[in-house]
């Protein structure tokens, strides 16, 4: 979990890197406010395979996501 300050109306780009940099992690992205309310649902990888044997041409990391805080405060990703 990472904490970041957000200002109302100022977009933030969030991006997770795991598989693309050789990490073994299976990551997903969720953003919550200080009260624990989900503001951005779970963004996860796509479980569908492009080919039953291999030939991977995509990453299972979630895509870069633009989040605009609804109010000033700390947010948790």
**Bridge partners, 38 (sequence order):** 32
H/E stretch holding 38 reads strand 38-43
Whether the pLDDT of residue 71 is over 70: the answer is yes
Taking CB atoms within 8 Å and a gap of at least 24, the contacts of 17-24 are: 17/61, 18/61, 19/59, 19/60, 19/61, 20/59, 20/61
Instruction: Say whether 61 sits in a helix, a strand or coil.
Output: coil
- Please tell me what DSSP assigns to residue 51: S
Q: What pLDDT band is residue 73 in, cutting at 50, 70 and 90?
A: very high
Give residue 52's pLDDT.
Answer: 56
pTM: 0.72
How do residues 8-67 score in pLDDT, each as one tens digit? 999 999 888 877 787 777 777 889 999 999 987 766 655 555 555 555 555 677 778 899
């Amino acid at each position: 979990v990472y904490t970041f300050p957000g200002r109302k109306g100022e977009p933030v780009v969030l991006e997770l890197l795991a598989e693309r940099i050789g990490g073994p992690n299976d990551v997903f992205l969720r953003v919550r406010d200080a009260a624990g309310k989900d503001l951005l649902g779970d963004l996860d990888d796509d479980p569908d395979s492009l080919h039953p044997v291999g030939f991977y041409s995509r990453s299972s990391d979630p895509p870069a996501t633009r989040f605009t805080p609804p109010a000033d405060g700390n947010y948790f990703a």
